[in-house]
Amino acid sequence: MSIARSTTSACEPVAIARVAGRRRFLSGAAAALAAPWLARGANAADVDRFALGVASGQPRADSVVLWTRLTGETLGERVSVQWEVASDERFVDVVARGDEVAEAAWAHSVHAEVGGLAPGRWYWYRFRALGAQSAVGRTRTAPPADAAATLRFAIASCQRFDVGHYAAWRDVAAASLDLVVFLGDYIYESAERKNPVRGGVGGEALSLDQYRARYATYKSDASLQAAHAAAPWLVVWDDHEVSNDYAGLRGENLAVDMRARRTAAYRAYWEHMPFPRAMRPIDTEMRITGRVDWGRLARIHLLDDRQYRDPQACPKPGRGGSNTLLLNQCPALADPARTLLGAEQEAWLADGWDLERPWNLVAQQTLMARVTWLDPAIGGGAYWTDGWDGYAPARRRLLAAVAAKKVPGVVVLGGDVHSNYVAGSARRLRRRALAGDRERVLRHFDHEPARSRAGAHRPGARIQPAPALRALRRARLRPLRRRRQGAAREPARRRTARRSREQRRHRRALHRRGRTPGAARRLSAAANQKRPALSAAPSTSRERSAICASRSADGGDVAFAVQTRRPFETSVTRPFPE
């Protein structure tokens, strides 16, 4: 199963999931109340030395990393910074304190590694320097390895500063999460767009000072600071922390010196993330791959699909980076020697699957599911070469290892594609459909709890909405139910005209997105049915949804994906290829 993704742009919420056991994996939105303990310290000096906030990350059973960066004028080459960790928000019971040195060479960033903490509990922390005190942050340690546990976490990616405000981070800060997992594109290195929603980004980032300034701009946002201060983070990068569509030491613009640019970008990335000192980059190299165990419940695998990959196959003439083209136009897409993760990281992942814990959560950058933008009958389908579809043999090796070892509960979390997808195993869903378990297939796609007539959850129903999501979906579906009731009473001639208008809107929408007329006819016909083959709500032009379905060249393990512009209201009209 692959779940992807949510962004923190102005229009898309952050996906929130709760893992409470082998058969429970909840997704939903958070409440919008401010956490009272996020107040700035009362003894702050006139100069704000902590204008970029505080953060924590890398939670282990006995340790966590605390982060901040000093700001303001007249900072020396080396500045002493004190930190405190307490078991209560008033800092009555201080359990650890220490000193760090913020160096100008590393942008006066502080990475305090606090050990000797109790497992599975919350802590509060703060910093002091130059007569100023930081905001108070909250963090926690992971549960002990042998303990039962629950996990409530958010995933997010692609937070472009100049195109919107971070309302989603305000929700995350109020949601009482155990963890935030950021899946890449924390900044965008490109120049500010014309007529931006928010200014101050400037031109394209190329040098170390420019990357540092870009992080400072992003981290000045109060909602993002609140989300960092509310819970520990696990972070991985994607391309925009360096350059769009870069692969190893090759960028989209072949004329740019990628070695120098990557060195500067990796250094700035470490300076602004809650990473330990052991993860400091050395020239162009920085290892972000790692694992975090969460009690007996889950193992989280953190992957890097940028640093070690082969360049994208069949790029546009005179450029590097991605392309979208027919499968039969690019034989290199089927080359088994090409890799997205690199041979060493592939072996590391294959050897590290947890066969005891019920969940293996894979935090990586992009969509794992196979998606074709045209009917596979046309040239074998059209694929985007920057994602896993551009490295299909590598994906096949990864999934084959999962199948061979019978790894339990593999859920792939991805970002990058600026859409919300839920995809799963075609083989499993096909078996359920053939067995007549239509309700269970529907529930798998629509995030609804599958229930028996007695009201108990069906065995195997693993995805259900959080209470906030249920309320959101009820509110969105209420007007739809009213339209249905009104449609049942309207005259036949008016109903026929309305359905014709819906069909035309469907065709125009699908043609704009490059769909074939056959796909348009199938989706338009499904919209006319009172109860589509597999849909909780009819697919209409307002929802702007589309299905991409094809037989998988990777053995059928990831064969389809569903996309919708309205998060959490996925409609499926044709679950399997004919």
Residue 52 has pLDDT above 60, yes or no: yes
| pLDDT value for 490 | 63
Beta carbons of 85 and 97 less than 8 angstroms apart: yes
Residue 512 lies in a domain: no
Q: What is the 3-state secondary structure (H, E, C) of 171-220?
A: HHHCCCCCEEEECCCCCCCCCCCCCCCCCCCCCCCCCHHHHHHHHHHHHC
Per-residue pLDDT of 218-233, as tens digits, reads 999 999 999 999 999 9
pLDDT band of 18, cuts 50, 70, 90? low
pLDDT band of 473, cuts 50, 70, 90? low
Residue 155 has pLDDT above 90, yes or no: yes
Hey, how many other C-beta atoms are within 10 angstroms of the C-beta on 199? 12
Average pLDDT for 48-54:
97
Residue 108 lies in a domain: yes
Residue 558 lies in a domain: no
pLDDT band of 482, cuts 50, 70, 90? low
- Please state which of the ranges 42-56, 135-149, 353-367, 393-407 shows the lowest mean pLDDT: 42-56
| pLDDT value for 294 | 98
* Number of domains present in the structure of the chain: 1
Residue 396 has pLDDT above 60, yes or no: yes
Per-residue pLDDT of 517-560, as tens digits, reads 444 344 334 334 433 332 223 333 333 222 232 223 333 333 23
Q: Which structural domain range is residue 97 located in? A: 2-423
| pLDDT value for 255 | 82
Residue 498 lies in a domain: no
- Please state which of the ranges 45-49, 288-292, 334-338 shows the lowest mean pLDDT: 45-49
| pLDDT value for 483 | 59
* Residue predicted with more confidence, 160 or 28: 160
Tell which residue, 415, 104, 391, 394, has the closest CA to residue 234: 415
Structure tokens at 78: 């080396």
State percent of the chain over pLDDT 70. 69
Per-residue pLDDT of 83-113, as tens digits, reads 999 999 999 999 999 999 999 999 999 999 9
Residue 505 lies in a domain: no
pLDDT band of 497, cuts 50, 70, 90? confident
| pLDDT value for 432 | 53
Residue 464 lies in a domain: no
Residue with tokens 């088994």: 336
| pLDDT value for 42 | 38
In angstroms, the CA 362 to CA 191 distance is 31
Extract the runs of DSSP E, i.e. beta strands, from 87-196. 94-103, 109-114, 122-129, 132-133, 137-140, 151-156, 179-182
Average pLDDT, the chain: 78
Q: In CATH, what number is assigned to the domain containing residue 366?
A: 3.60.21.70
Residue 572 has pLDDT above 90, yes or no: no
* Residue predicted with more confidence, 498 or 144: 144
In angstroms, the CA 181 to CA 14 distance is 11
- Please state which of the ranges 3-7, 174-178, 182-186, 539-543 shows the lowest mean pLDDT: 539-543
Structure tokens at 483: 């339209």
Average pLDDT for 245-268:
95
Residue 93 lies in a domain: yes
Average pLDDT for 143-160:
95
Residue 442 lies in a domain: no
